[in-house]
Chains A and B, each alone.
Chain A
Amino acid sequence: MRFRARVEVQLRPGIADPEGATIERALPALGFEGVAHVRAGRSFSFEVDAPDEGAARTTASELADRLLANPVIEQSRLELEAI
């Protein structure tokens, strides 16, 4: 079976996010009001061949934790769908 994985990586709560803060500071100048707590992150997608969803999830989450995110400062969220 083949699965499409989408991994979202963000800084952990409490870790300063200079990119998100800069975006947030720019918002009033662009006329956006009432927007707060901007956090920047990255998203990755890839496809996994695996016998079942559990196996695909294991592979994808290991990839996310060992490579895509640096667990010291970042956390990742994984979404998986069969294709």
Chain B
Amino acid sequence: MAPRIGVVVFPGTNCEHDVVQAATAAGGDGVLLWHGDTQVGAVDAVVLPGGFAHGDYLRPGALARFSQVMGAVAEFARGGGPVVGICNGFQVLTEAGLLPGALQKNGRLRFLCEPTRLVVTSTASVLTAGSAVGDELVIPINHFSGNYTCDDETRARLQAEDRIVLRYAANPNGSIDAIAGIASEGGNVVGLMPHPERASSALLGSEDGLVLLRALVHAAASASAAT
């Protein structure tokens, strides 16, 4: 049976159907989860998709982190379950403390919506395990607050623990070290600003996102087999 990829819908989320479709194209079984759920149910991986959860009021992710489902997502992550936050989902994960640092307004205060070239810089995560270090992927970004920021200590730690998984080939938003995606200590929680689901078909101009999503489906299958 295809591993179930639960895609969380907050009020204001707008990429959930794209992620469900792309996860399915990658060999998974994409299902929607609701922000008011107290459990994530029988899923093998969780994706927090992009959009504007709670209107991005206060700060992106600041209100979504208090959603009921986030307690269950945190527990799922603590148990080693694969959790991926894409764009707004990455912002939610940092606000929830599941990933370190914060995503600030873009360096030049511009909303950026364009394909970016990414370089895989670590394969120690559920999203990049199917890639090789140095691989280039073309995946679009679509954000105003994607400028990854953290203190020097955190940055050194991320680097030393091989947790910076994706970097921009040409830094579009001012992120420290051109960081596009990072992973948790165990590699099972990953946040990234680019949208792999928008690069999941040749019709969209790139299939590079499928490389990441297939790795996630594979990790979900292993997590499923382990329980």
Contacts and interface: CB of A to CB of B under 8 A. Distances in A.
Contacts of B102: 70, 72-73
Given A72-B101, A72-B150, A73-B149, A18 B59 contact: no
B56 to A, nearest CB: 13
Interface in A1-58: 11, 15-16, 18-19, 22
Between A11, A67, A68, the greatest number of chain B beta carbons within 10 A of the residue's beta carbon is seen for A67
Contacts of B105: 18-19
Given A15-B149, A19-B109, A70 B174 contact: no
Contact of A16 (B62, B66, B174): B174
A38 B100 CA distance: 27
Contacts, number: 36
Contacts of A73: 102, 104, 149
Given A18-B104, A72-B151, 16 more contacts: A16-B104, A16-B107, A16-B174, A18-B105, A18-B106, A18-B109, A18-B147, A18-B174, A19-B105, A22-B109, A67-B58, A67-B66, A70-B95, A70-B102, A72-B100, A72-B150
Given A16-B174, A73-B102, A73-B104, A68 B109 contact: no
A18 B108 contact: yes
A65 B66 CA distance: 14
Interface of A: 11, 15-16, 18-19, 22, 67-68, 70, 72-73
A18 B107 contact: yes
Contacts of B66: 67
B149 to A, nearest CB: 6
Contacts of A67: 58, 62, 66
Nearest to A42: B58
B66 to A, nearest CB: 8
